[in-house]
Chains A and B, each alone.
Chain A
Amino acid sequence: MPTSPASSNAADWQPTASLETLRLRARLLRETRDFFDARGLVEVETPQLSAAAATDLHLESLAVTAPGGGLRGWLHTSPEFPMKRLLAAGSGDIWQLARVFRGAERGRRHNPEFSLLEWYRVGWDAPRLMDEVDALLRSLATGRVTLGPTERLSYRAAFLRHAGFDPFLAETAEMLAALASAGVPTPPDLAADREACLDLVLATRVEPAFDPGRPTFVHDFPATHAALARIRPGEPAVAERFELFLGGMELANGFHELTDPAEQAARFDADLAARGARGLVEPPVDGRLLQAMRHGLPDCAGVALGFDRLVMILAGAAHIDAVLAFPWGHC
């Protein structure tokens, strides 16, 4: 009988999370459901398996193939596209807790399969949605963890304060110098990739400087980091995107959603071109999302929150394995 690899450790079958943590997880799930129910959002379920996939340069979708060749598809990295199709169909405010998959992401705060809490608010903008994320956080933290006052600052202010340069104006040489002065070594070809420089500074200098006990929202990202957020024109133009940091981790990412189908199609094309230039897989674009957007995606804001990380914070866990029954490597 073929068996999957197991370590020689006879206790390898055991869950990596304590039963107490798993019970806490179950209570948080119920409270989350109550939170959205009380606010009138409808819980929806969308497919994990799809013929199209995300095109993001830094997301790796898992490809699924039936051994007989009868089916080829992709596991979703977030439920964003089908949820937007529901919004275009007139669903109104919706939420779901989705199991999503991202290849090659494994570490203290990453598991390739994880739970994403994603919701959309019709007619809302990013600041209003940040308030609701904060309200959910505080509701779930009550009686468990004391949170400091919430802070909001722009991407630019966060970099000026904690990295010492303006992320909209600085040359990569200045960013590399800021990394070097903090003792962060850099890969040799980093200078050629401005976005990656900003990403490394964010991960190693800015994010660790935030008070871990205080929800910190960073908003108004550079247009190069817009992903699926709309761009607000100005000098400089900024993406109406926000991220929430807590407990030394990135916990949520939200957008005032892009609704322009032509702009969406152009971003898909740009993503695929960037993937092609790096020799990465170019997955099929979601044509049905574009159709839905041409029909009309209502003005809305959406956010995705890493539920496992939220459980980590509320359980006081330092490793994601402590809040998952059977993380990758144990299943």
Chain B
Amino acid sequence: MATYSTNEFRSGLKILLDGDPCVILENEFVKPGKGQAFNRVRIRNLKTGRVNEKTFKSNESVESADVVDTDMQYLYYDGEFWHFMVPDTFEQYAADEKVVSEAKEWLKEQDSCQVTLWNNQPLLVQPPNFVELKIVETDPGLRGDTATGGQKPAKLETGAVVRVPLFIEQGEVIRVDTRTGAYVSRVK
């Protein structure tokens, strides 16, 4: 197993802590004069998403985590697993609900997304920052109302519900920011 020394720590480095893959967000080297040096790091646990702080004595070594981000195409949901494919190699991966988590609300068949693999198993699925999805259910549009700024809920083809302006009609395709769940624009 590959290891990293604390002096190789930098943000973005993937390490294994207590058996979980983590990514270093921030690394600060502190050393009182003539004393023991420490690395104080902020890390995100990639399994739970939780952010933690940790202190290492400098020159300790830590196991690396075999974590890679891969662009994949979302294929289908079989009622239990979500299936993804690497377009170049046609390799397929199945992810369960825990892995897909909130991303499932934005996954449309054939769309691409980022799948994080840990020891070649899906760990996280991230939808693209912006997706274009069709509205399958919303109140009838208020024609011409582009000024009042009012909003109404709209259900999208993937099941997500977002707030849209009052003039948007059922059957229209809209662009949504998946990081905030906010409506961005109409797609013609």
Contact = CB atoms under 8 A, between A and B. Distances in A.
The interface residues of chain B, by DSSP majority, are classed as: strand
A186 B39 CA distance: 11
Interface stretch (A93-101, A138-146, A191-199): A191-199
Nearest to A208: B30
Contacts of B68: none
Contact of A108 (B29, B35, B53, B54): B29
A200 B36 contact: yes
A105 to B, nearest CB: 7
A253 interface: yes
Given A105-B29, A203-B31, A183 B58 contact: no
B31 to A, nearest CB: 7
A107 B35 contact: no
A310 B5 CA distance: 30
B134 interface: no
B35 A58 contact: yes
Contacts of B36: 58, 193, 195-196, 199-200
B40 interface: yes
Nearest to A306: B33
B35 A202 contact: yes
Q: How large is the interface on B (under 10, 10 to 19, 20 to 34, 35 or more residues)?
A: 20 to 34
A160 B38 CA distance: 23
A36 to B, nearest CB: 22
Contacts of A186: 55
A250 B30 CA distance: 10
B31 A110 contact: yes
A104 B35 contact: no
B55 A185 contact: yes
B7 A106 contact: yes
Nearest to B30: A203
Contact of A187 (B30, B31, B35, B55): B55
A207 interface: yes
A104 B59 contact: yes
Contacts of A19: none
A115 interface: no
B60 interface: yes
Interface in B127-158: none
B56 interface: yes
Given A106-B7, A184-B55, A185-B54, A207 B28 contact: no
Contacts of B27: 107
A198 to B, nearest CB: 8
Contacts of A56: 34
Contacts of A172: none
A204 interface: yes
Interface in A136-192: 183-187, 189-190
Interface in B32-72: 32-38, 40, 52-60
Interface in A97-148: 104-110
A108 B30 CA distance: 9
B3 to A, nearest CB: 15
B112 to A, nearest CB: 25
Contacts of A105: 29, 31, 37
B143 to A, nearest CB: 52
Nearest to B35: A199
Contacts of A184: 40, 53, 55
A107 B56 contact: no
Interface in A56-111: 56, 58-59, 104-110
Contacts of B30: 107, 203-204
Contacts of A200: 36, 38, 55
Given A184-B55, A185-B55, A186-B55, A225 B29 contact: no
Interface of A: 56, 58-59, 104-110, 183-187, 189-190, 193, 195-196, 198-200, 202-204, 207, 225, 227, 243, 250, 253
Given A196-B36, A227-B34, 7 more contacts: A105-B29, A106-B7, A107-B27, A107-B30, A199-B35, A199-B36, A200-B38
26 contacts: A58-B31, A58-B35, A58-B36, A59-B34, A104-B37, A106-B7, A108-B29, A110-B29, A110-B31, A183-B53, A184-B40, A185-B53, A185-B55, A186-B55, A187-B56, A187-B60, A189-B57, A196-B35, A196-B36, A199-B36, A202-B35, A203-B30, A203-B32, A227-B34, A250-B32, A253-B34
